[in-house]
Amino acid sequence: MSRPRGGARPRAPGPPAAAREEVQGLLDGRLEAALRDRVLEVVDRVDAERAAHQREFKRLTLDFATVVEVTSQINSKSLDLALIENFTLNMVMGQFGVLKVCILRRDNDDSGHVVPVLGKNTRLPPVAFEVDAPFARDLVRAARPVGLEDPALAAHPESATLRAEGFQLVVPLLKSGAEREQVDLMGVLCLGERFDRARGFDAGTLRFLSLLGNMVAISLFNAQLYHRSIYDGLTRVHSRGYFEVALTQELDRTRRQRARGGPEENRKVCSLVMVDLDRFKSVNDTHGHPVGDEVLRRLAKVLASGLRSSDVVARYGGEEFTLILPETDKKLGTVVADRLRRRVRESAVPLPGGGEIHVSVSMGMATFPDDADEIQALVREADRALYRAKDLGRDRLCVCGAPVPIGPGGPAPDARASEVP
């Protein structure tokens, strides 16, 4: 490396505090006092700016490290809505020291309806809106964290409601859409005041919150896509696609257990129940499709409420549902299915104009491996039993291989199996 003229080594710049003394030493006796003071004033300003830039660089470095960590944590929970929401709110409270925080997001049915789903140190605020409502459009237009008293939002009734609940700032959760220039509002983060009230939300905090909002929006979008792929949008039980995967996994697990060869393993079975709503077309024709939708929702709720956490209820298509009952033989499966059949019959569905209706279901059950040793055959046998129940008068349970159906006028299931839920 070449040296400067005169052989002197280049001197590394000293710390900012020494810069003024170094310049002053060079200028003493060479410049008039007034000019010297002006030069020193410029040096002081440059030193102050350099120190400010160093502080900003350190803060940005810390923010970047935090963003990387937050992104990693959110991605690890990327398909679980509850985990994403809980982590986000805890992180916001801890990172920014806010007294309360909540999150509003699009409902899982993809209706464009934004509702509150989780809060920390607060109740869920009584506010909901559509993604094309004026409040939502102004959030998208702002595309940044906005104070609820900001002129861009202050006039909206949603802002007044959130202010009344103690919130000060909202962060729109925005995701770029498929079309250029399209931006989708996935939800809103609502923040209360900070523990350090005098500090407020400075420019650095707002910038970080804006970045966080974009990351959370993408994670919510991906999680909701996954959620809609495994759950039926109308009834909120599992979808047919999920049912097919779950049944495959359950039969594979049962095969592995049986392959171990012991007497206990040889008794491992899995029962499948097909459920069909009786005379559903008549419900739609008589009362309209909104009532028909409510009947399906009520049926799904009754079925799900009567099962174990290890069981699976899914909407197979139209008014047909399926139940996967792991480690459940015919005797226990008969008790479970018939209990659900009776609960459906006893449940009332209110009508919009007053009054109520009652519905019934027909059921068919087959058990792996007793009735079939592979998936398609098991579904086919359960479906045959279901249509036998239909042919015999509906509101019945037919079990594959059993000559007599269970239902009105038929025998009750074995009471000795009553310990199943």
Q: What is the mean pLDDT of the chain?
A: 85
Higher-pLDDT residue of 416, 109: 109
How far apart are alpha carbons 153 and 134 in whole angstroms? Answer: 9
Looking at 31-40, 77-86, 131-140, 180-189, which range is the least confident one? 31-40
Label residue 388 by pLDDT band (50, 70, 90). Answer: very high
Label residue 417 by pLDDT band (50, 70, 90). Answer: very low
- pTM of the full structure: 0.68
- pLDDT on residue 16: 52
Q: What DSSP state is assigned to residue 408?
A: T
How far apart are alpha carbons 196 and 202 in whole angstroms? Answer: 12
Burial of 199 (0-12, 13-18, 19+ CB in 10 A): exposed
Looking at 109-123, 173-187, 320-334, 376-390, which range is the least confident one? 173-187
How far apart are alpha carbons 113 and 134 in whole angstroms? Answer: 13
Label residue 263 by pLDDT band (50, 70, 90). Answer: low
Question: With 60 as the cut, is the pLDDT of residue 9 above it?
Answer: no
Closest CA to 270 of 362, 401, 373: 373
Mean pLDDT across 232-260: 93
Label residue 24 by pLDDT band (50, 70, 90). Answer: low
Question: With 50 as the cut, is the pLDDT of residue 12 above it?
Answer: no
Label residue 29 by pLDDT band (50, 70, 90). Answer: low
- pLDDT on residue 363: 97
Looking at 117-126, 265-274, 350-359, 376-385, which range is the least confident one? 265-274
How far apart are alpha carbons 126 and 185 in whole angstroms? Answer: 19
- pLDDT on residue 25: 60
Label residue 419 by pLDDT band (50, 70, 90). Answer: very low
Q: How far is CA 78 from CA 10, 73, 83, 94, 101, in A?
A: 53, 9, 8, 21, 21
Amino acid at 156: H
Question: With 70 as the cut, is the pLDDT of residue 367 above it?
Answer: yes
Task: Return the top range by mean pLDDT from 7-11, 58-62, 389-393.
Answer: 389-393
329-356 per-position pLDDT tens digit: 999 999 999 999 999 999 999 999 889 9
Looking at 85-94, 121-130, 170-179, 233-242, which range is the least confident one? 170-179
Q: What DSSP state is assigned to residue 156?
A: S
Label residue 117 by pLDDT band (50, 70, 90). Answer: very high
Count of beta carbons in the 10 Å neighbourhood of residue 65: 10
Label residue 18 by pLDDT band (50, 70, 90). Answer: low
- pLDDT on residue 342: 95
Residue in this structure with the two tokens 């002129």, named with its chain if needed = 151
Mean pLDDT across 94-122: 90
Closest CA to 271 of 411, 341, 388, 370: 370
Q: What are phi and psi of 184, to 5 degrees?
A: -105, 135
Question: With 80 as the cut, is the pLDDT of residue 46 above it?
Answer: yes
Query: Strands (DSSP E) along 66-166, which ranges?
Result: 101-106, 113-120, 129-130, 146-147
52-98 per-position pLDDT tens digit: 788 777 766 776 676 677 667 666 666 788 888 998 899 889 888 99
CB of 349 within 8 A of CB of 295?
A: yes
Looking at 7-16, 35-44, 186-195, 210-219, which range is the least confident one? 7-16
- pLDDT on residue 399: 96
The token pair that represents 64 in the structure block = 């970047």
190-200 per-position pLDDT tens digit: 999 998 877 78
How far apart are alpha carbons 12 and 19 in whole angstroms? Answer: 12
Strand partners, 356: 350
76 membership: H or E segment, kind and range: helix 33-76
- pLDDT on residue 420: 37
Classify the C-alpha dihedral 404-406-408-413 as positive or negative. positive
Question: With 60 as the cut, is the pLDDT of residue 415 above it?
Answer: no
